[in-house]
């Protein structure tokens, strides 16, 4: 249903993601809003790893709510407030990412709506109809 590729003639990805993903015409798409690492009680952990873990937990739960899994991801966009967190972001992404990994982007931003947030991830998933 989805064709994940890292073809010759384009740079080899410096980490685990696909340079392109083609989805067949007869597919259902799911667009996830940006997820952040807020605890269920509304508090924001100071620790990047905890925020990243919660963020990926919420992505998995949203996918499951629609009968999908991480294997349905075709695009992931990560936003971080510091380049210091890139290694941690990649660690968590690689722990949660399926084979074959989706197309991926990570961007350093100046901040988020709520002070203290260090990471936000939005994603697109698809499955065959």
The residue to which tokens 């996918």 are assigned: 63
pTM: 0.90
For every one of its 129 residues, what pLDDT tens digit does the chain have, with 9 covering 90 and above? 788 888 888 888 888 888 888 898 899 999 999 999 999 999 999 999 999 999 999 999 999 999 999 999 999 999 999 999 999 999 999 999 878 899 999 999 999 999 999 999 999 999 988
Q: Could you say which of 3.20.20.140, 3.20.20.70, 3.30.1490.270, 3.30.1330.40 is the CATH number of the domain covering 27-128?
A: 3.30.1330.40
Question: What's the DSSP call for residue 11?
Answer: P
Query: Could you state, in order of their start, the residue ranges of all structural domains in the chain?
Result: 27-128
CA terminus-to-terminus distance, the chain: 9
Comparing CA positions, the residue from 28, 25, 50, 51 lying closest to residue 112 is 51
73 and 123 Cβ atoms separated by less than 8 Å = yes
pLDDT for position 80: 98
């Amino acid at each position: 249903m989805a064709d994940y590729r890292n073809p010759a003639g384009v740079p080899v990805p410096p980490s685990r993601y696909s340079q392109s993903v083609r989805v067949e015409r007869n597919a259902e798409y799911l667009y996830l809003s940006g997820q952040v690492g807020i605890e269920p009680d509304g508090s924001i952990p100071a620790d990047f790893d905890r925020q990243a873990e919660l963020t990926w937990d919420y992505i998995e739960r949203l996918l499951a709510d629609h009968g999908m899994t991480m294997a349905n991801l075709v695009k992931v966009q990560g936003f971080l407030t510091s380049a210091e967190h890139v290694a941690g972001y990649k660690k968590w992404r690689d722990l949660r990412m399926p084979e074959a990994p989706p197309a991926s982007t990570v961007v350093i931003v100046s901040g988020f709506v709520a002070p203290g947030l260090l990471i936000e991830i939005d994603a697109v998933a698809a499955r065959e109809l």
